[in-house]
């Protein structure tokens, strides 16, 4: 029944519109085509001015209203060392494009209004103006040069890999449909070798158990990182393309099967510090659970998040991992609680190629040394 009514309404609306259309055609005939066109010119040029003013106001007001979600403004500031550089490129671009946007729109609709066809008005024959054209080719070219230089400066600093002697924590994120496996190097600071053919059963990322570097590696269900420590994420995909995306840190890089990629960054704000910043903004002082108005506020439950940003299949939207940035002491404490995956789950099971053999690490049960941060193992060259 409802469907029928909706269909009838649409048909009725179409008929009404067609009749309006017919009617205006008829009145135009009566008034004379020319006069009707002049009237239409006047109306539509006025509408154009109204549109332009309302539209520009809407743009400015909505931008002000949404400023807390813009890069580098309010609570949406970067939580990584390099993020600020990107945010400032964004701001400069916003400034220049904003000016161009307003000027061109004002001119477009103002000219439309001013030069709409009126009784007795005539067009001017202006075919070109070389001086003007040189100016408006040169000015955008100069502005673009400025933006390119600024942008590339930031880009080449951000994307640089770690140097061989640099102190860095390397963590591996392996993406698969539809989750992440996060692997930390253990006390040796080195991630053990892998082979995708070994994946299966208890070995979800294909660690090679004959490689002693793997013995102390551990996996975590959260990405926990110490604040102020340079981190190199080794990004790996097991099946299809994924993307390692940390929105608050301005980190994004595809995970490509068969080709490990990386992103190097330094977190500068702990989760607690970021929460304290969010507390200042009203939108984060709303209850995080709408059904429980007296429960925790949004800023209290805030967590950094890891998301997938490359379409990877039906569960693409659900690849979440929590990210925690903590102080170095907390991090050390956390690491000391982690257990080596090999020693807890593989050692002396049927999956262990070293079953029965004595290893130098026996009978170590937990990772001991936590402070030693690590030398990066050379990764496969990126093409």
Q: Binders of other proteins among 83-122, rule CB under 8 A?
A: 85-86, 89-90, 93-94, 96-97, 100-101, 104-105, 107-109, 111-112, 115-117, 121-122
Cβ(224)–Cβ(297) below 8 Å: no
Smallest gap from Cβ 101 to other proteins, in A, equals 6
Backbone Cα Rg of the chain: 31
The verdict on 55 binding other proteins (CB under 8 A) reads yes
Separation CA 137–CA 26 (nearest Å) = 47
Identify residues 219-238 at the interface with other proteins (CB under 8 A).
238
Cβ(31)–Cβ(92) below 8 Å: no
Cβ distance to other proteins smaller for residue 10 or 333: 10
Given 172, 182, 215, 243, the residue binding other proteins (CB under 8 A): 243
Cβ distance to other proteins smaller for residue 58 or 333: 58
DSSP per-residue letters across 273-326: HHHHHHTTSGGGSSBSSTT-TTS-BHHHH--EEEEE-S--STTGGG--EEEEEE
Smallest gap from Cβ 349 to other proteins, in A, equals 20
Question: Which of 16-24, 180-188, 343-351, 361-369 is the region at the interface with other proteins (rule: CB under 8 A)?
Answer: 16-24
Cβ distance to other proteins smaller for residue 25 or 369: 25
Cβ distance to other proteins smaller for residue 180 or 302: 302
The verdict on 162 binding other proteins (CB under 8 A) reads no
DSSP per-residue letters across 32-90: -HHHHHHHHHHHHHHHHHHHHHHHHHHHHHHHHHTGGGSTTSGGG--SBTTHHHHHHHH
- Strands 251-255 and 242-246 come out as antiparallel
Question: Which of 9-17, 224-232, 327-335, 344-352 is the region at the interface with other proteins (rule: CB under 8 A)?
Answer: 9-17
Count the Cβ atoms, other than its own, within 10 Å of residue 361: 16
Given 35, 62, 202, 344, the residue binding other proteins (CB under 8 A): 62
Count the Cβ atoms, other than its own, within 10 Å of residue 184: 23
CA 369 from chain centre, in angstroms, equals: 35
Identify residues 189-218 at the interface with other proteins (CB under 8 A).
196-197, 199-200, 206
Question: Which of 151-159, 180-188, 217-225, 339-347 is the region at the interface with other proteins (rule: CB under 8 A)?
Answer: 151-159
- Strands 223-226 and 304-308 come out as unpaired
Residue with tokens 């000391």: 336
Cβ distance to other proteins smaller for residue 93 or 212: 93
Identify residues 281-320 at the interface with other proteins (CB under 8 A).
283, 288, 298, 301-303, 305, 307-318, 320
Across the beta sheet with 231-237, the strand order is 218-220, 179-184, 169-176, 231-237, 261-265
Q: What are phi and psi of 21, to 5 degrees?
A: -60, -50
Cβ distance to other proteins smaller for residue 129 or 365: 129
The verdict on 364 binding other proteins (CB under 8 A) reads no
The verdict on 8 binding other proteins (CB under 8 A) reads no
Identify residues 319-348 at the interface with other proteins (CB under 8 A).
320
CB-based burial label for 269 (10 Å; 0-12, 13-18, 19+): buried
Q: Count residues near other proteins (CB under 8 A).
A: 122
Q: What are phi and psi of 130, to 5 degrees?
A: -60, -40
Identify residues 22-51 at the interface with other proteins (CB under 8 A).
22, 24-25, 37, 40-41, 44-45, 47-48, 51
Given 84, 228, 247, 287, the residue binding other proteins (CB under 8 A): 247
Handedness of CA 353, 359, 361, 365 (dihedral sign): positive
Question: Which of 143-151, 185-193, 221-229, 360-368 is the region at the interface with other proteins (rule: CB under 8 A)?
Answer: 143-151
- CA-closest candidate to residue 335, choices 112, 147, 186: 186
The verdict on 76 binding other proteins (CB under 8 A) reads yes
Cβ(322)–Cβ(305) below 8 Å: yes
Cβ distance to other proteins smaller for residue 288 or 366: 288
């Amino acid at each position: 029944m409802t469907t029928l009514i909706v269909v009838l309404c649409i048909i009725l609306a179409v008929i009404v519109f067609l009749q309006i259309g017919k009617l205006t055609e008829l009145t135009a005939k009566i008034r004379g085509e020319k006069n009707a066109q002049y009237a239409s010119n006047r109306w539509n040029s006025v509408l154009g001015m109204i549109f332009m003013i309302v539209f520009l106001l809407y743009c400015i007001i909505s931008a002000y209203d949404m400023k807390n979600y813009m890069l580098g403004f309010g609570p949406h500031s970067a939580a990584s060392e390099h993020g600020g550089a990107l945010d400032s490129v964004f701001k400069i671009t916003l400034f220049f494009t904003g000016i161009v946007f307003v000027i061109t729109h004002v001119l477009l609709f103002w000219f439309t209004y001013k030069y709409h066809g009126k009784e007795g008005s005539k067009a001017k024959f202006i075919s070109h103006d070389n001086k003007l054209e040189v100016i408006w080719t040169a000015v955008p070219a100069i502005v673009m040069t400025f933006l390119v230089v600024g942008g590339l400066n930031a880009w080449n600093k951000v994307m640089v890999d770690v140097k061989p002697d640099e102190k860095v924590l390397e963590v591996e994120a392996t993406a698969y449909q539809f989750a992440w496996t996060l692997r930390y190097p253990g006390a040796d600071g080195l991630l053990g070798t892998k082979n995708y053919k070994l994946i299966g059963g208890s070995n979800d990322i294909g660690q090679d158990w004959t490689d002693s570097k793997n013995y102390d590696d551990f996996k975590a269900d959260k990405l926990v990182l110490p604040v102020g420590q340079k981190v190199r994420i080794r990004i790996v995909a097991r099946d299809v393309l994924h993307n390692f995306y940390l929105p608050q840190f301005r980190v994004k890089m595809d995970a490509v099967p068969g080709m490990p990629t990386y992103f190097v960054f330094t977190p500068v704000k702990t989760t607690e510090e970021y929460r304290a910043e969010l507390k200042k903004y009203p939108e984060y002082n709303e209850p995080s659970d709408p059904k429980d108005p007296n429960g925790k506020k949004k800023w209290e439950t805030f967590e950094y998040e890891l998301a997938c940003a490359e379409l990877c299949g039906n569960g693409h939207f659900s690849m979440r991992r929590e990210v925690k940035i903590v102080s170095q002491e907390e991090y050390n404490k956390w690491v000391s609680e982690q257990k080596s995956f090999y020693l807890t789950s593989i050692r002396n099971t049927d999956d262990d190629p070293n079953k029965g053999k004595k290893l130098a690490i026996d009978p170590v049960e937990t990772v001991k040394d936590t402070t030693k941060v690590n030398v990066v193992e050379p990764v496969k060259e990126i093409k």
